[in-house]
Amino acid sequence: MGSLSALPLPDLVDLLARRRATGTLTCERGSVRKSVHLRDGSGVGAASNDPREYLGALLVAFGHLDEEQLAKAFRTQEETRVRLGSVLTMVGLVRPETIRDVLAIKIRETLLDVFLWDSGVFAFDDSPPPAVDDLDPVVPLVEIAREAEFRTTAWQAFRAAFPTGGAALEVDESRVPEGAGPGTVDGRVLALGREGKTIDEIGLALRITEFHLYQRIYALHRQGALRPALPKIVGEAERAADAAADELVARARALLADGHAAQAAAVAARAVELAPALGGARAALAEAEGALLDGFRRDLLDRPRAPRPLLASHEIALLRLPSADRYLLSRCDGARNVRDLVALAPMREIEVLQALARFAEARLVDLSGS
């Protein structure tokens, strides 16, 4: 184990590839945790707490499933305890080769994202990973390393054209390519751009990984169909940074000891932002979020609840909400229960449950029914 600032990921991956390592590589930064299972120097599986990298999210993003099909598959998985990919192939929704291809993308995206980190920690466990079955891909680490080199150059071009995900987009209708129909990723990007969505909001709506989103936006930009809109807000007030991260950690632990889990999580999150590699900050955040999640699960998951909107759609449209809240609120239709929303939303479980609790308190949804 060690720090990625001391042993950069490219060097670590090269070492594991040359040694044909078998085991599990886990990388953490702040509250983000990613693991890749290795066998003989190749990735054979991956796990991540980034919802965009879940198998179901990737299948929806690439058009192999819709949200309703995914929700039904999750319910079958809960009943049978069978892997999601196996469930989808058994019921004939997705072909085995498609599952294998998307799982390969999952492995690549899980590790390729870490190549962009400027800090973090890693650990390698040489215990053999789970056995490979017919649906599992094999992705050599050397291929992922080559892809990372290409992406470094690509990201430089992306960021030069679109420096921030908070930027909205302008569409030049005269330059829209003929193939960008409503059912394509490019067509959906353009449609959301016309609505004034920011790049981050478009990524959330499409449930697509960040690289693939910028890849399509940049391609449309090169064709003259998209350009960044002038920002509506020139600058944002910087957060006060007068307290050191260790002081924030101490405050978070005191709040947690007093039973204020929500406040403790907020303070610990600030500590992680200040010092992403600080183990104490990450531990405090994990403890606070764990306590908070336990309470939300008791309140919202112990019995079936289907959030029902209390406002009309045109009233919701007038609300000034963060993009993630707006996305989740649009899924609260009285038909999907809380478990469905947790499974479907490209957000962490705690983020979904926190948002639903806020909606109920603000009288945006009714959580009393089942």
How confident is the model over 112-166, as pLDDT tens digits? 989 988 889 999 999 998 877 788 899 999 999 999 988 888 888 888 888 888 8
**Per-residue confidence (pLDDT) for residue 240, from 0 to 100:** 42
Contacts of residue 210, Cβ cutoff 8 Å, sequence gap at least 6: 52, 113, 203
Encode pLDDT of 184-227 as tens digits.
889 999 999 999 889 988 988 887 888 889 999 999 998 999 99
Calpha distance 124→127 (Å, rounded): 9
| pTM of this structure | 0.63
The Cα–Cα gap between 343 and 275 comes to 31
- CA 260 to CA 256: how far, in whole Å? 5
Q: What are the CB-based long-range contacts (under 8 Å, 24+) for 84-93? A: 84/55, 84/56, 85/55, 85/135, 86/135, 88/59, 89/135, 93/65, 93/69
Q: Which pLDDT does position 132 carry in this prediction?
A: 72
Instruction: Report the pLDDT value the prediction gives residue 18, as an integer from 0 to 100.
Output: 95
Mean pLDDT to the nearest integer, 315-322: 78
What is the rounded average pLDDT of the residues 27-42?
93
**Per DSSP, what are the bridge partners of residue 37?**
24, 45
234: phi then psi, degrees, rounded to nearest 5 = -70, -40
CA distances (Å), origin 136, targets 41, 89, 97: 15, 13, 10
Phi, psi of 25 (to 5 degrees): -100, 125
pLDDT > 90 fraction of the chain, expressed in percent and rounded: 34
Residue 166's pLDDT is 83
- Comparison of pLDDT for 78 and 243, the residue scoring more: 78
34 φ, ψ to 5°? -135, 140
Give SS3 for 272. Answer: helix
Q: Is the pLDDT of residue 322 over 50?
A: yes
At residue 9, the pLDDT reads 93
Q: What pLDDT is attached to residue 278?
A: 65
Mean pLDDT of the chain: 86
80-110 pLDDT, tens digit per residue, is 888 899 999 988 999 999 999 999 999 999 9
Q: What's the pLDDT at 325?
A: 83
Longest alpha-carbon distance in the chain: 60
Q: What is the mean pLDDT of residues 279-291?
A: 85
Q: Give per-residue pLDDT as tens, 345-365.
A: 777 888 889 899 889 888 999
Q: What pLDDT is stored for residue 276 in this prediction?
A: 64
- Assign 231 a pLDDT band (cuts: 50, 70, 90): low
Give CA 110 to chain center in angstroms: 10
Is the sign of the CA dihedral 297, 33, 140, 157 positive or negative?
positive
- State how far the alpha carbon of 176 is from the alpha carbons of 187, 190, 222, in Å: 9, 8, 11
Q: What angle do CA 194, 196, 197 make, to 5 degrees?
A: 110
